[in-house]
């Protein structure tokens, strides 16, 4: 045979009778990992390669491969690589996985002599195909274990816990389906630690456990069932004696272990507000600690639906800026807790922080469990209003003509060159006050005749002048 190339499962094809390697079928629920392992023992199929070098027949021999043929083979390999890369990162098909031992033994040989521009043989870069986790605002991560339904839940969770120890994790919404197991964690460090365990935990049948991790929160639907379950969980958290409702870490409530009910989702917290407004409108204290809240625009309705709230706890959340609280400033709060929120890190001066809070909640006297000095304010009832405007305040409307006649005559004389006649309009003991607001030296010289009678209390120190 003058020229050959080798690919896939050790097949050899002549150039004249070229049959390209057919891609493996799509993933199905059937666990065929054992069949593929048996194939590997019998055939050298761990590295798929193709050689573009002549087979030694010389430049003019039959083994010479044309440039068009090389491009055709290379494009076929690229298509197969693209198909593998486009697959879901949670695809449990192990055909794209190459054993670490075979990969290490063939890495140097594969790279040596690889023509520039040709695609990497499948299996040489699989480690880079894993998506890198990044922290997100909600910090919920989905863990998926293909074929995990074959193992006991206790074994799966215990194996993961022992592997990441001393770090501790709480699996939420554990579910075993026909082809995999899924659960969720709500911490980035935990999710990253679990991702590093991929194919490092040995299962009872001698295989390696596959752990796929991605940023995602559980699917939920706001319906009557969700509302009823939330209502039942809130009933046991309400204290009628203090009129206080504790919704701290609400999604981790044991009664909600099988349903996603995180208050950082706007749809869910709005349902909670509606339940409060309908069943406990007299609520005065609300605890929203440790619910991963970061946007509060949808809480503007609290001021109208729960107007009696005076105490609000929102510690251990993810509120980023002080301006985020503007949507709550209509609440008449006297106590507020914002500990362990990112917004506090933006203020090194505690005085400025307190000032910014009181700009929005002027009646706050306790902030972050610290008593504050009483706010300086006017002792005016909130219900007070300015008098309504009127065109006339005369007790008797018949006196309007007399007043109008007096004003007309007064201003005619006032605008004339001789105002002596106006003396008759004043009482003999009438007095008036004069204030001169000027600091410019030239103006003071011009107004010198008036300065001695100036009663500007900002500058007068003697009591007689004041």
pLDDT digits (tens, 9 = 90+) for 275-284: 999 999 999 9
pLDDT band at 117 (very low <50, low <70, confident <90, very high): low
For residue 16, what pLDDT is reported?
45
Q: In what order do the strands lie in the sheet with 244-246?
A: 238-239, 244-246, 285-287, 311-313, 335-337, 366-367, 370-371
Examine the pLDDT at 400 and tell me if it is beyond 50: yes
Query: 224-371 has which CATH code?
Result: 3.80.10.10
pLDDT band at 448 (very low <50, low <70, confident <90, very high): confident
Angstrom CA distances, 288 to 195, 249, 294, stand at: 31, 7, 12
Q: In what order do the strands lie in the sheet with 212-215?
A: 172-176, 180-185, 141-146, 212-215
More confidently predicted of 458 and 218 = 218
Q: What does the H/E/C string look like for 109-125?
A: HHHCCCCCCCCCCCCCC
For residue 425, what pLDDT is reported?
81
State the Cα angle at 138 between 283 and 343, rounded to 5°. Answer: 70
What backbone torsions phi and psi does residue 147 show, to the nearest 5 degrees? 65, 10
Count Cα neighbours of 244 within 13 Å in the Cβ-side half-sphere: 10
Q: Cα(32)–Cα(26) distance, rounded to whole angstroms?
A: 12
Token representation of residue 420: 């002596």
Cis before residue 140, ω within 30 degrees of 0? no
Judged by average pLDDT, the poorest of 25-39, 155-169, 258-272, 452-466 is 25-39
Q: What is the mean pLDDT of residues 210-238?
A: 90
Question: 143: closest CA among 127, 160, 155?
Answer: 160
For residue 180, what pLDDT is reported?
92
Residues near 5 by beta carbon (within 8 Å), at least 6 away in sequence: 12, 13, 15, 50, 51, 73
Query: 141-215 has which CATH code?
Result: 3.30.70.330
User: Domains of the chain: which residue ranges?
Assistant: 141-215, 224-371, 399-453
Q: How far is CA 91 from the centre of its chain?
A: 28
pLDDT band at 404 (very low <50, low <70, confident <90, very high): confident
Question: 252: closest CA among 265, 239, 261?
Answer: 261
pLDDT band at 122 (very low <50, low <70, confident <90, very high): low
For residue 18, what pLDDT is reported?
45
| E strand or H helix that includes residue 239 | strand 238-239
pLDDT digits (tens, 9 = 90+) for 348-378: 899 999 999 999 999 999 999 999 988 766 5
State the Cα angle at 293 between 288 and 296, rounded to 5°. Answer: 95
For residue 40, what pLDDT is reported?
46
pLDDT band at 50 (very low <50, low <70, confident <90, very high): low
pLDDT digits (tens, 9 = 90+) for 302-325: 999 999 999 999 999 999 999 999
Pairing of strands 311-313, 244-246: unpaired
More confidently predicted of 279 and 96 = 279
Q: Cα(211)–Cα(175) distance, rounded to whole angstroms?
A: 15
Q: Name the 3-class secondary structure at 218.
A: coil
> To the nearest 10°, the Cα dihedral for 243, 245, 246, 248?
-140
Residue pair 306/274 in contact (Cβ under 8 Å)? The answer is no
Share of the chain above pLDDT 90, in %: 37
Q: Cα(379)–Cα(458) distance, rounded to whole angstroms?
A: 24
| E strand or H helix that includes residue 335 | strand 335-337
Q: Cα(301)–Cα(272) distance, rounded to whole angstroms?
A: 12
Residue pair 283/234 in contact (Cβ under 8 Å)? The answer is no
DSSP state letter for 213: E
pLDDT band at 153 (very low <50, low <70, confident <90, very high): very high
């Amino acid at each position: 045979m003058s020229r050959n190339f080798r690919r896939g499962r050790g097949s050899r094809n002549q150039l004249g009778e070229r049959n390209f390697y057919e891609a493996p079928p799509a993933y199905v629920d059937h666990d065929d990992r054992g069949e593929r392992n048996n194939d590997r023992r019998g055939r050298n199929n761990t590295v798929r390669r193709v050689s573009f070098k002549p087979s030694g027949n010389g430049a003019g021999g039959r083994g010479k491969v044309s440039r068009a043929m090389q491009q055709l083979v290379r494009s076929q390999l690229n298509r197969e690589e693209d198909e593998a890369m486009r697959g879901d990162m949670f695809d449990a098909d192990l055909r794209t996985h190459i054993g670490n031992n075979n990969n290490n033994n063939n890495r140097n040989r594969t790279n040596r002599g690889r023509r520039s521009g040709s695609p990497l043989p499948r299996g040489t870069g699989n480690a880079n195909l894993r998506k890198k986790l990044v922290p997100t605002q909600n910090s919920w991560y989905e863990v998926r274990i293909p074929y995990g339904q074959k193992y006991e839940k206790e074994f799966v969770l215990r194996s993961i816990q022992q592997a990441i120890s001393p770090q501790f994790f709480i699996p939420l919404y554990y579910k075993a389906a026909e082809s995999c197991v899924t659960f969720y964690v709500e911490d980035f460090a935990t999710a990253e630690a679990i991702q590093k365990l991929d194919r490092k935990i040995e299962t009872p049948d001698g295989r390696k456990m596959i752990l796929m991790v991605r940023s995602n929160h559980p699917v939920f639907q706001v319906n009557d069932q969700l509302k009823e379950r939330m209502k039942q969980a809130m009933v046991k958290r309400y204290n009628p004696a203090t009129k206080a409702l504790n919704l701290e870490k609400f999604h981790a409530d044991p009664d909600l272990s099988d349903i996603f009910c995180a208050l950082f989702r706007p749809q869910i917290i709005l349902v909670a507000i509606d339940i409060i407004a309908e069943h406990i409108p007299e609520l005065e204290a609300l605890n929203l600690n440790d619910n991963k809240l970061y946007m509060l625009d949808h809480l503007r309705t609290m001021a109208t639906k729960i107007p009696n709230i005076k105490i609000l706890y929102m510690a251990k959340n993810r509120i980023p800026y002080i301006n985020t609280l503007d949507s709550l400033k209509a609440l008449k709060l006297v106590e507020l807790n914002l500990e362990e929120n990112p917004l506090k890190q933006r203020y090194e001066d505690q005085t400025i922080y307190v000032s910014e809070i009181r700009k929005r909640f002027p009646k706050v006297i306790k902030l972050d469990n610290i008593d504050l000095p009483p706010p300086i304010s006017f002792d005016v009832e909130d219900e007070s209003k300015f008098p309504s405007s009127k065109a006339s305040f005369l007790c008797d409307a018949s006196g309007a003509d007399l007043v109008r006649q007096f004003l007309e005559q007064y201003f005619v004389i006032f605008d004339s060159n001789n105002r002596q006649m106006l003396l008759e309009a004043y009482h003999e003991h009438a007095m008036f006050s004069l204030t001169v607001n000027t600091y410019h030296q030239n103006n003071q010289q011009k107004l010198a005749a008036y300065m001695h009678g100036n009663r500007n209390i900002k500058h007068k120190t003697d009591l007689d002048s004041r």
